Chains A and B, each alone.
Chain A
Amino acid sequence: MRDRETKRSKTDLYAQVLEVLIRYPEGGRITRISYGVGVPVDRLRNILEALSSYGLARKLAADEQTLYFATPRGLEFLDTYWKMKGFFEIFGDKQR
């Protein structure tokens, strides 16, 4: 997903965070998600807040730790995101 030559757009980042989140159905901790996505925790916290406010991710505070989950709407976003990327491939669009 990550092309080192191009900067990831906000949408790419959202998708990548959700791709990591769906790999933790038991809930992902922010440090581990940050290792997966490759962004620092403070920046990731903002992204997760944004995803939660859009209903794409869910935050759950339990047992002195905060866990993050992808929501069904988040899965829907991911599916649409990849399909759109597929169309860009067909159009030969350089947009990522």
Chain B
Amino acid sequence: MPNLHIPRGQTATLDRVEGELRVGNHATIQAINGKTVVVTQDAVFEGSAEVNGDFECDSLECHSGRLEVNGNLTVHKRLDVGHSIEATGTIKAQDIDVGGKIFAGAVNCIRIRVGGQAEIENTFEASSVDVGGKVSALGSVKLGDLQVGGEAEVGGGSILGSIRVGGKFSSKSRLEFGELLVYGRGFLPADCKGHRVSTYGKLEVDGKITCDFIEVGGVIEIHGDCYAQRVEVGGKFEVTGSLFSNRVEGYGAIEIGNFEGTTLRISGKLVANKIVVTEEADISGKIETKQGLKAKQLTVRSGSRYEGVLIGERVEVGKSSDLSYGGWGTNWATKWVTAGGMARVDDIYAKDVVIGPMCRVGRIFAETVKIEQGSAAEQVTYTSELKTDFGVAIGETPKKVDTLPKPPF
């Protein structure tokens, strides 16, 4: 038996209820002189109800209808609402479970589960957020995990666990995140920082982003610089600024401004302004650079077309394909590449150059040069040794010099 029962449709003015409170459908609770209504045990609402003032209880259950709180709501344990709840102030609880919709000024809880929709105007703090439909939290958020079936829109802040959003995800201002998985469409503002980003759909970043691991299944467009430990591309990756990454690999289409990194292993299409790789670059497909590509060890696989200057300690052109990475499918380009078709490159500046069979090269400036059968070069300038196989064509007579011209960078 409840200690106090407010009958259906009645209005009660309350201050403190010792024990349990039961509220009938369409009842109204008024707080005395703007004080907080305190219920020392559970509050049970049988249906829709209105609370004018702050309300505090041990646990709260609302079976159906809409519970409206014009003030703050503090629940020490569990807040369980069948249909929907609206609070103009802050909802503070340990566990929040709402079947339909929750609207609040602010929310502070450990765990929140909403079947339908959550709309929070100001701050939103929770360790775990699980929403079937839509989350809109346009103030600052401080969350652990965020799992949303449909759409999630946050004002910015931090979500340090994992974010899984089925439909759309957007953050209005700077967000620090753990793992972000967007199946549909995502928008991030400038200066976001995170551990991992994966997308099957499209993610747009409106400025600089720093992330340990970027996995592109669909499309990622970054309108600024990108700092990442590792980038794996299976779809399309665009960076209008510079990309700084230890390791970039994949088989999609990449368009970047400048790239600075340790290793680059790409098959597919790559368009860049300038690429500087401190260790190994292994490329195949169609690659275009305005200023050139520089790497310690540089391999252009057979069947590739490279436009721009190649600079390296050792440059190999026309080597057969490495199938250890990339999505070598069954298209004609793949068959051509794996069969060891011709590679075409522009000028090469290196210490050692090896040109495989049936390749076309621009000018070569190197200490030692080896050109295998059937290949052609416009010009060869070397300081130490030139070896050519049967059927090699060189446009001008090879020049042995004491000093090689300096590479462009």
Distance between B13 CB and nearest chain A CB, rounded to angstroms? 31
Distance in Å from the Cβ of A89 to the closest Cβ of chain B? Answer: 4
A1-B149, A20-B132, A20-B149 given; A89·B184 CB < 8 A: yes
Contact partner of B116 (CB less than 8 A), chosen from A15, A22, A35, A81, is A35
Determine if A54 is an interface residue (Cβ-Cβ < 8 Å). no
List the one stretch of B198-206, B297-305, B325-333, B348-356 in contact with chain A.
B198-206
Question: How far apart are B93's CB and chain A's nearest CB, in angstroms?
Answer: 17
Residues on the B chain within 8 Å of A55, using CB? none
B100 adjacent to A35 (CB under 8 Å): yes
Nearest CB on B from A41, distance (A): 12
Kindly name the residue among A83, A88, A90 whose own CB sees the greatest number of chain B CB atoms within 10 A.
Answer: A90
- Cβ of B111 to closest chain A Cβ, rounded Å: 12
Report the bound CA distance from A16 to B134 in whole Å: 11
Within 8 A of B (CB), among A54-86: 78, 81-83, 85-86
CB distance from A63 to the nearest CB of B (A): 17
Contact of B183 among A23, A31, A85 (CB under 8 A): A85
Residue of B nearest to A81 (CB): B166
Most buried by A among B115, B116, B134: B115
Q: Give CA–CA (A15, B20) in the complex, Å.
A: 40
Chain B residue numbers with a CB within 8 Å of A22 are: 149
The CA of A85 and the CA of B149, in the complex, are separated in Å by: 12
In the assembled complex, A37 has its CB within 8 A of some CB on chain B: yes
The smallest C-beta distance from B129 to any residue of chain A, in angstroms, reads 11
* B113→A90 contact, CB < 8 A: no
**In the complex, chain A residues whose CB is within 8 Å of the CB of B183:** 82-83, 85-86
Return the contact of B115 from the options A15, A35, A78, A88 (Cβ within 8 A). A35
Q: Which residue of B lies closest to A35 (CB)?
A: B100
A35-B83 in contact (CB<8A): yes
Query: Is the C-beta of B261 less than 8 angstroms from some C-beta in chain A?
Result: no
Question: B224 on the interface (CB 8 Å rule)?
Answer: no
The answer to whether A90 touches B218 (Cβ under 8 A) is: yes
Bound complex: CA A15 to CA B151 (Å): 13
Contacting residues of chain B (182-239) with chain A, CB-CB under 8 angstroms: 182-185, 199-202, 217-219, 235-236
Name the A residues within 8 Å of B134 (CB-CB): 1-2
Interface string of B57-94 (1 = CB under 8 A from A): 00000001000000000000000001110000000000
Q: Does B133 contact A (CB under 8 A)?
A: yes
Distance in Å: Cβ of B165 to nearest Cβ of chain A: 9
| B47: interface (CB < 8 Å) | no
Residue of A nearest to B164 (CB): A82
Q: In chain B, residues 157-185, which have Cβ atoms closer than 8 Å to a Cβ of chain A?
A: 166-167, 182-185
Tell me if A32 counts as interface (CB < 8 A to partner B). Answer: yes
Assembled-state Cα–Cα distance A78/B165 (Å): 12
User: Contact at B185–A89, with CB atoms within 8 Å?
Assistant: yes
Given A2-B150, A90-B219, A23–B130 Cβ distance below 8 Å?
A: yes
Interface string of A10-35 (1 = CB under 8 A from B): 00000110011011100010011101
A69: min CB distance to chain B, Å? 14
Q: Kindly state whether residue B292 has any CB partner on chain A within 8 Å.
A: no
- Nearest CB of B to A35, in Å: 3
Q: Which of B82, B84, B132, B134: most chain A CB closer than 10 A?
A: B132
- 14 new A-B contacts, CB < 8 A, other than A16-B149, A20-B132, are A1-B150, A19-B149, A23-B115, A23-B131, A24-B115, A28-B115, A32-B82, A36-B115, A37-B115, A38-B116, A85-B183, A86-B217, A88-B201, A90-B235
Q: Interface residues, chain B, CB within 8 Å of chain A?
A: 64, 82-84, 99-101, 113-116, 130-134, 149-151, 166-167, 182-185, 199-202, 217-219, 235-236
Q: What are 9 A-B residue pairs whose CB atoms fall within 8 Å in the complex?
A: A19-B133, A20-B133, A23-B131, A24-B115, A33-B115, A36-B100, A36-B133, A86-B218, A89-B201
